[in-house]
Copies of this chain bind each other. A is one copy, B any other.
Amino acid sequence: ELNMNETSAPIKTAKEELADFVEIFPILTNEILKELPGMDMPPQTIAWIEKMINVNVAGGKMNRGLTVLHSLQLLVEGRQLSRSEIFLANVLGWCVEWLQAFFLVADDIMDQSITRRGQPCWYRQQNPISNNGTTIGSIAINDSFILESCIYILIKKYFRNEPYYADILDIFHETSYQTELGQLLDLTTQPNRGDFSLFTLNTYRRIVKYKTAYYSFYLPVALAMLMAGINSTPAFSTAKDILLPMGEFFQVQDDFLDCYGSPAVIGKIGRDIEENKCSWMICQAILNGTPEQINLLKKHYGLDNPSDVELVKKIYGEIGLKKIFKDYEDESYAFLTSKIKSVRIMPQEVFIKLLSKIYKRDL
């Protein structure tokens, strides 16, 4: 006999869920594009925006975006989500992806990055309108603004009549601000090469909490919580309490991969050493290196020169940063597991699911 209980209907496979998510991207893009002819925008402008959205919003790993639906499914505890709930959760998921695109387009300019997701960064791509081989260049700044505006077009289109409409807007605004503060911290912790006084774990943790953890971990879960009708402040505090440290670990891993990950896997060429970044790697090297090693790092860190970068990596090896990372990974996993086990106010599975995603991330 088949189990016909609707609430325990077979859960879709990860592959099917991803397919559902990917499927609605062109629908959402079309919502934005279809308004433009009526606004008297010329075809070349519409084509520009279409290309800009496709290049910058699609093609990521979509973990952040998928997290909204995953979290909502676990928050409603066993009840089957309706097709419309799934669609709406995925709309918010895409809004998180659009938010990330907004930040990445600008971040690549500010970091002078070369590639993103295996292709030239948007600002380095050819200007499709120019006839003299110029790149998009600083027009990408305005393009990043447009990507941000798309978020609010989509939210208005699909959520204007929901009682939590203003809550969604508030959380996107707040998360944007937190991310911008993180970027400011990040950008102002770089300028003086050879000065290691700011490369402490304390400074580091503040930067990554703001520039990554809020938008990548807290935001998608908080959006699902709003859709699930949760409005108790303690529930949002609990979520923050777990998701911000989880986001911190995620960024530590990202910094580790910037140095030791394969460009083919991470889709970009690491430049943290060249750019004098306040990375977890340099902070740990300073904490664990000998005075001689630290002096050598001071001489060679933050220079855009292959031989200097190589020397920095050699010292990282001597200090044993791979082992230090492995130990840190184990510790932070244990810390988060224990925190999650004490949660009563909402289903622990929401956090366990996310934890399992990042701790099996491809190294």
Contacts and interface: CB of A to CB of B under 8 A. Distances in A.
Given A40-B206, A106-B141, A206-B40, A188 B149 contact: no
Interface string A162-173: 000110011001
A173 B168 CA distance: 14
A217 B139 CA distance: 25
B192 A131 contact: yes
Given A139-B110, A149-B173, A169-B169, A191 B134 contact: yes
A169 B151 CA distance: 13
A48 B184 contact: yes
B180 A145 contact: yes
Given A153-B177, A173-B149, A142 B184 contact: yes
A132 interface: yes
A247 to B, nearest CB: 15
Given A45-B188, A48-B184, A188-B48, A177 B146 contact: yes
A130 B191 contact: yes
B188 A173 contact: no
Closest 9 CB pairs of A and B: A152-B173, A149-B177, A130-B191, A142-B183, A110-B138, A145-B180, A139-B187, A146-B180, A129-B188
